[in-house]
Amino acid sequence: MSKRYMGRRILSVSVAAALALSLSACGGQNSEQEDPVAAETGGLGAYDETLVCNMGRSTIANPKFPEGDSYEDNAYTRYLKEKLNVEVVDSFEANGEDYDRQVSLAIASGELPDVMRVGSRDVLTELVENDLVADLTDVYEEYASDYIKEIYDSYDGRCLDEAMYDGRLMALPGTNYDAAPCEIFIRQDWLDDLGMNIDEDGDMCLTIDELEEVVRTFVDKDPGNTGNPVGLAFAPYLTAGDYGGSGYTMTAIGSAYQAFPGSWLMDENGQVYNGSTTEGMKNALAKLAEWFQEGLVDPQFGTRTWDDITALLTNGQTGIAFGPWHLPDWLLNNVRSMDPDAEFSAYTICDENGKVNVIHNNACSGYMVVRKGYSNPEVLIKIANLFFDDIVNDKNLEEEEPEVYEYITTVDNSARPIQVELNKNTYLVDEYSDIKNCVEGNITMDEVRSVESKTKVESIKRYLEDPDNAEVADWSSYTSRMNGMGLIDHLTAADQFEWFSPVFFDTTKTMETNNADLNKLQEETFVAIVTGSKSIDEFDTFVEDWNSRGGEQITKEVQEAVDAQ
Amino acid sequence: MVQKKGIFSNIGKGAIYLIVFLLGLICLLPLLNIVAVSFSGSAAVAANKVGFLPVDFTTAAYEKILGDDQFWRSFGISVIRVILGLVLNLVLIVLMAYPLSKSKREFKGRSIYMNMLIFAMLFNGGMIPTYIVVKNLGLLNTVWALVLPGAVPIFSVIMVMNFFMGVPKALEEAAVIDGATPFQVLTRVYLPCSKPVIATVALFSIVGNWNDFFSGLIYMTKVNNYPLQTYIQSLSVKLEDMLNAGGSLSSLVNIMDVSSQNLNAAKIVVSVIPLLMIYPLLQKYLITGIVVGSVKE
C-alpha cells in the first residue's frame, strides 16, 4: 500500500466506519433467503427462467465499446444471457474512486446490488460483520470448475485465505500474480554508440557498481546530446508498495540491500517489522545519498514530478527508467515516438551474491460479493467458470463466438460482468513462453494459450519484419514482452529470485489514524537524506520518531493479527 | 478632494497598472497554456516543450472530441441543467427575497424565517442523508437530482434581499396608491429596478450549475447520465493515483490513451467556451450588483 493512496484510504475507511453506524438502521431488510430459480446441473448449467442479476459495475473512462454497446448490453453480457440465461442489470456504474463511493452509498441506503465488486478488505470485513453478504463456501465447492480451483491453488491458498472469515469463504477474491522484479530499462542504442557491454556475464542483472558505471558514463558523455544530462531520476515519493507502482522509484536499488520499504515482513524469530525501518533501508539510502553528492542522481530530486521525469526521458536527458515489465507499453512508447532510434534493454539489480531479492504481491486484488438473501448465489461462480475457464480455454472461440473473440482483443476487460481477474500465479512466465516459442516458430498459433498472447505474437512479428519502420505500438509489444517479460522468465529459469513474503497487507486501527503522518515523515526524511540536507545517521532518529508516532503501536497490532492467523 | 498631479502620483498610477496587469497575466497565462497544449502534438506535450504557443500544431484532439458521443451527450445534459437550474433558482430567489426584504412590522415572523435560512446556510444534512432523500424520492439519474438540492441558494437570497431593501420605499407606495397588488409591485417595480443584482445571481447560478461535478458523481449511477464536468473529471484521473491503486497493465494503457494531456486540455477548452460567451454579457452588471446590494436606505 503506497502512501499518498493511504490518505484516501483512510478517508474511505472512515466513511465506511461512519456507514457501519447507519447499517443497523438501514440493513436487515430483505435478509430472508429468496426462492432460487431452478437451473440445469453443473458449473455452467443454464437457468430455466431468466435470472435477473443486479450488479454494481466498476467502469473505466474509455472501454472502447463498438457502436451501440454499453456496460449493460455488450458481447459479454449477451453471451452470458445466451449461455446461462442470466440477465445483467446495472444498479450503478462508476469509475475508480467514484465506484467506491457508490458502494458506500449503496451500503448506507440499505439496497445492495445482487453482485458487486468491493475493492478493499476493510469494506468486505464491514459487510461480513454486518451479515450483508452471502457465504460462498458451499457453492464454490460445488460449482467452481477444476480449472478455476487450479488457478486459486497456484497461490497456495494465499489468495482464497484473504476472503475467509472463520473458515468460510465470504467473497470470490480476484487474483494478483507476482510481477517482480522492478526492472531497469536502459537506452541500448546509447550503450551501443558508446561501445559499452554492461552485462558481460549475460545474467541480465547489474550489481550496484555496474549500474553506477552506466550512470556515470551517461552523465559524462551525454549520449542524448542535450547538453544537460541527468543521471537517475526518481519521483519524490521514492518508494512503492508493489511492483505495478514501482515506476521511477528506488525499489530495484532497495532490493539489492534487501530493503522492502512499507512491507510488513517477519524475521526468523517470528517478529514482524516494517521494511522502511531496516538496516538495509539505511544502506540503500546511504548509497543514493552518495550518488546524489557525485551528481549521479537528479539534482532536482524531490521537486521533479512524474511528468517532469517522463519529459527528461523523452527529451533524451536521461536514458534510464525504473519500473514494472510493462513500462514500454504505456510510458517508454513516448520516448520511441519522439526518437525513432530509441531502444531499451531490461535489467534488474542483484545483490552481492547475484540474487535478486523480491517480495510476493498481495495475492488478492478485489473481491466479488453476493448480497445475502439473493436467490442464486452460485451464479457468481458460474460466471467465473464462463469467463475464466470456458472462454479462456475454448480453442475454437474465434469461429464459434467471433463477437466475444473480437471483444477480448479490442474491448477493455471491465466490460465483463465479473470485475476481478483470475489468472495463475505463473501467468507472466506462461505467457512469455507461449509468445517466445510462437515467435521463434517452435509452436503454432493454435497452441498459444491466451487470445491476448496471440495478438501480441502478431504484433511482435510485425515489428521483427521491419524493426526500423515499425509502428510504435509494435515496438512496445516487442520491448515489453521480449525484454521485460523475458527478464522475468530468465530470472525464474536461472533460479535467481530470492523470494520474501510480506505477512500482512490490511489496515489496522492505528494505521487508519496515523499512517498519513508516518508516510509523510518517511517521505520527507528519505528525500532529506538522499539530498544531503540530513546526514545518513539521522535515519536512526527517523526510526525512533516513526516508532513513537504510532509505528510501534501499529507493529504490535500487525503482530497480533499475524499471530492470530 | 483636489490633488496636484505630480510625478509621484503618476508613478503610483503606473505601479498600480503594472500590478493589475501582472495579476491579469497570472489569470490569463495558464489558460493560454491549456489552449496551446490542446493544439500540440502529444509527444511534444509529454516532453514538456509547450509554452504559450502550440508545438507541432494539430487539431487531432478536437477531432477526437467531435467523435466522442458521450462528450456531447454530457454537454447537452449540462445545458439543460443550467437552463432548468437558472429558471428555478431565479424564481425561488426572488419569491423568497421579496418578503424577507420587508420590515418586521410588515412581515410578522420575518426573523424566524431569516434564522431558518441562516441555519440552513451554515449546517446541512451531509452527503449520505441527502443522497438517501434524493434516492427515495426517485430522483437518481434524472436532471432533477442535480437541480433540486441546490434550488434555493441562500447566499443569493440574502444578496437580492439586501438589494430590495435599497429600493426607495416611495416607489412602492406610489404603486400601491395606483392600485397595484403586492405581486405587481414585485414584478413591475422591484424587478425592473434590480437588474444588476438579478444578473449577478443569475451568473452565480449559471457558473455554479455548469461547473459542479460532484453531484453528478453521486446522483448519476450511469456514465451516460453524467453532466459535462463530471464526465471530464472522470477522465482526468492522475496517472500517479492509478499507479498507487495497483497499476495493472490494462488500466495504465487505458489511462494513457484517454488521459493524454492534450486531449484533456481540448476538453477543458471546449467546456469553458459557453461560460466565456456568457461572462461578457453579464459582466457589466456584476460589480454594481454586488456593491449596490450592500448599501441600505
Give pLDDT tens digits for A372-425: 999 999 999 999 999 999 988 888 888 888 999 888 888 888 899 999 989 999
The total of other beta-carbon atoms located within 10 Å of residue A209's CB is 8
Chain A CB contacts of B41 below 8 Å: none
Q: What is the distance between the alpha carbons of residues A468 and A411, in angstroms, rounded to a whole number?
A: 29
Model pLDDT, residue A346? 95
Q: In this structure, how many other beta carbons lie within 10 angstroms of the beta carbon of residue A268?
A: 5
| pLDDT digits 0-9 by tens, A231-257 | 999 999 899 888 888 889 999 999 999
Q: What is the DSSP string of B88-121?
A: HHHHHHHHHHHHHTS-TTTSTTHHHHHHHHHHHH
Distance CA B252, CA A327 (A): 9
Angle at A517 (CA atoms; ends A515, A519), nearest 5 degrees: 65
Residues A163-186 have pLDDT tens digits of 999 999 999 999 999 888 999 999
Grid-cell match 532529506, residue found: A528
3-state helix/strand/coil string of A237-248: CCCCCCHHHCCC
Whether residues A247 and B46 touch (CB distance < 8 A) is answered with no
Question: What does the block give as the cell for A151?
Answer: 488457478
Would you call B135 an interface residue with chain A, using a CB distance cutoff of 8 Å?
A: yes
Contact yes or no for A5 and B131 at CB 8 A? no
Say whether residue B103 is in contact with chain A using an 8 A CB cutoff. Answer: no
Residue A315 and residue A309: Cα distance in Å, rounded?
A: 10
What residues in B contact A307, CB-CB < 8 Å?
46, 48, 261
Interface check B9 vs A, CB under 8 A = no
Which residue of B lies nearest to A89 if distances are taken between CA atoms? Answer: B222
The residue extents of the domains of chain B are 7-58, 63-293
Is B224:A70 a contact under the CB 8 Å cutoff?
yes
Q: Residue A517, Cβ neighbours under 10 Å: how many?
A: 12
- Phi, psi torsion values for A323, nearest 5 degrees: 165, 180
Domain-wise residue ranges, chain A: 51-176+364-415, 183-360+496-500, 509-564
Q: Which of A89-103, A198-212, A250-264, B273-287 is predicted least confidently?
A: B273-287
Query: Hey, what's the cell of A93?
Result: 456504474
A565 pLDDT above the threshold of 70? yes
How far is it, in rounded angstroms, from Cα B194 to Cα B162?
A: 11
User: Testing the interface with A: which of B68, B243, B253, B260 to mutate, by most A Cβ within 10 A?
Assistant: B243
Please give, rounded to a whole number of angstroms, the shortest distance from the CA of A316 to a CA of chain B: 9
Average pLDDT over residues A197-202: 83
Q: Is the pLDDT of residue A529 over 80?
A: yes
Kindly tell me if the per-residue pLDDT of A1 is higher than 50: no
Provide the residue type at A560 as one letter: E
Residue with cell 515489465: A325
Q: Does B55 touch chain A (CB under 8 A)?
A: no
Partnered with residue A349 across adjacent β-strands are: A206
A330 pLDDT band, cuts 50/70/90, is confident
Q: Cell 447537452 maps to which residue?
A: B76
Q: Is B95 on the interface with A (CB under 8 A)?
A: no
How far apart are the C-alpha atoms of A346 and A482, rounded to whole Å? 9
Contacting residues for B196 by C-beta, under 8 A, at least 6 apart: B163, B285, B286, B288, B289, B292, B293
DSSP label of A62: -
Nearest CA in chain B to A16: B128
The answer to whether B199 and B287 are in contact (CB under 8 A) is no
Distance in angstroms (rounded) separating the CA atoms of residues A554 and A543: 13
Nearest neighbour of B222 by CB, restricted to A90, A331, A365: A90
Q: CA of A249: which chain B residue's CA is closest?
A: B243
- Contact between A92 and B222 using a beta-carbon 8 Å cutoff: yes
Per-residue pLDDT band for A81 (boundaries 50, 70, 90) equals very high
Mind telling me how many Å the CA of B146 is from chain A's nearest CA? Answer: 16
Residue of A nearest to B68 (CA): A62
Cβ-in-10-Å burial (0-12, 13-18, 19+) of B296 comes to exposed
Q: Please choose, from the candidates A313, A519, A419, A425, the residue with its C-alpha nearest in 3D space to the C-alpha of residue A94.
A: A419
- Write out the three cell numbers for A214: 552506466
Query: Which three cell numbers, joined as nine digits, stand for B229?
Result: 464536468
Position A384 scores a pLDDT of 96
Residue B121 is placed in which grid cell? 446556510
Q: How many CA atoms lie within 13 A of A159 on its CB side?
A: 28
Alpha helices (runs of H) in chain B, residue ranges in sequence order? 7-38, 42-46, 60-66, 69-100, 110-122, 127-136, 144-147, 154-166, 169-177, 182-184, 191-193, 195-211, 214-219, 228-235, 239-244, 249-258, 261-292
The shortest C-alpha distance from A66 to chain B (Å) reads 12
Say yes or no to pLDDT of B124 above 90: no
Query: Each residue of A298-320: pLDDT tens digit?
Result: 999 999 988 889 889 988 999 99
Determine whether the interchain pair A90/B241 forms a contact, defined as Cβ–Cβ distance below 8 Å: no
Q: What are phi and psi of A451, to 5 degrees?
A: -65, -40
Half-sphere CA count of A189, side-chain side, radius 13 A: 14
Closest residue by Cα to residue A2 from A360, A561, A520: A520
Name the CATH superfamily, with its identifier, for domain B63-293: MetI-like (1.10.3720.10)
- What pLDDT is recorded for position B120? 87
Percent of chain A with pLDDT over 70: 95
**Ramachandran assignment for A366, one of left (phi > 0), alpha (psi -120 to 50 degrees), beta (any other):** left
What average pLDDT is seen over chain A? Answer: 89
Coil, helix or strand at residue A368? strand
Contact criterion met (CB < 8 Å) for B240 and A331: no
CA atoms within 13 A on the CB side of B224: 11
Q: Per-residue pLDDT for B284 more than 90?
A: no
Residue B195 has pLDDT above 90, yes or no: no
B233-247 average pLDDT score: 64
Q: Is domain A183-360+496-500 annotated with CATH 3.40.50.300?
A: no
CA atoms of A39 and A85, how far apart (whole Å)? 9
In this model, does residue A356 exceed pLDDT 90? yes
Residue A296 has pLDDT above 80, yes or no: yes
User: What does DSSP say about strands A205-206 and A115-118: parallel, antiparallel, or unpaired?
Assistant: unpaired
Site from B69, B214, B223, B263 to mutate, A interface, most A CB atoms within 10 angstroms: B223
- Are A103 and A16 in contact by the 8 Å Cβ rule? The answer is no
Task: Report percent pLDDT > 90 for chain A.
Answer: 63
Start-to-end C-alpha separation, chain B: 26
The label of the residue with cell 461480513 reads A128
* Distances, alpha carbon A99 to alpha carbons A8, A146, B193, B222, in Å: 14, 32, 48, 11
Across the interface, whether the CB atoms of B241 and A5 are under 8 A apart is answered: yes
Q: Quick one: DSSP state of residue A167?
A: T
**Residue A308: which of B48, B223, B252 has the nearest Cβ?**
B48
Q: Do A326 and B252 touch (CB under 8 A)?
A: yes
| pLDDT confidence band for B250 (50 / 70 / 90) | low
> Cβ of B251 under 8 Å from any chain A Cβ?
yes
The maximal CA–CA distance of chain B, rounded, in angstroms, is 77
Selected for mutation to probe chain A from B244, B253, B258, B260 (highest A CB count within 10 Å) is B244
Q: What are the chain A neighbours of B257 within 8 Å (beta carbons)?
A: 62
Measured between CA atoms, the residue of chain B closest to residue A307 is: B46
Of B46, B243, B251, the CB nearest to A314: B46
Flag if A59 and B224 touch (Cβ within 8 Å).
Answer: no
Of A60, A108, A334, Cβ closest to residue B251? A60
CA distance A122 to A9: 10
Give me the helix-helix angle, A509-531 and A279-293, nearest 10°.
30
Instruction: Collect all residues of chain B within an 8 Å Cβ-Cβ radius of residue A60.
Output: 251, 254
Residue whose grid cell is 437588474: B195
Q: Poorest-confidence range of A110-124, A141-155, B61-75?
A: B61-75
Q: DSSP secondary-structure letter at A352?
A: T
pLDDT band at A287 (very low <50, low <70, confident <90, very high): very high
CATH architecture of the domain formed by A51-176+364-415: 3-Layer(aba) Sandwich (3.40)
Which residue from B43, B237, B255 is facing A334, i.e. has the nearest CB?
B43
Q: What angle do CA A424, A427, A430 make, to 5 degrees?
A: 120
Contacts of A452 in chain B (CB under 8 A): none
What is the per-residue pLDDT across B257-276, written as a single tens digit (0 to 9) for each?
A: 655 777 888 888 988 888 88
User: Alpha-carbon distance A346 to A191, whole Å?
Assistant: 13
Q: Inter-axis angle of helices A451-465 and A427-439, to 10 degrees?
A: 40
Cβ separation B257–A90 shorter than 8 A: no
Q: Is A449 exposed, middle or buried (0-12, 13-18, 19+ CB in 10 A)?
A: middle
Give the residue, B67 or A437, on which the prediction is more confident: A437
Most A CBs within 10 Å, among B240, B241, B259, to test the A interface: B240
Residue A21 binned pLDDT confidence (cut-offs 50, 70, 90): very low
Tell me how many residue pairs between chain A and chain B have CB atoms under 8 A apart.
120
Query: Which residues of chain B have a CB within 8 Å of the CB of A5?
Result: 241, 244-245
Q: Which residues of B touch A71 (CB under 8 A)?
A: 223
The answer to whether B97 and B166 are in contact (CB under 8 A) is no
Positive or negative: CA dihedral A147, A153, A159, A161: positive
Identify which of B209, B212, B164 has the alpha carbon closest to the alpha carbon of residue B190: B164
Q: Who among A109, A412, A421 is closest to B132 (CB)?
A: A109
Residue of B nearest to A69 (CA): B224
Q: How far is A105 from chain B (nearest CA, A)?
A: 7
- Which pLDDT tens digit goes with each residue over B131-155? 989 999 999 999 999 999 989 999 9
pLDDT tens for each residue of B2-54:
555 677 788 889 999 999 999 999 999 999 999 998 888 777 777 777 888 88
Residues of chain B with C-beta less than 8 angstroms from the C-beta of A103: none
Cis amide bond preceding A181, omega within 30: yes
| Domains A51-176+364-415 and A183-360+496-500 alike in fold | yes
Q: Is B237 on the interface with A (CB under 8 A)?
A: yes
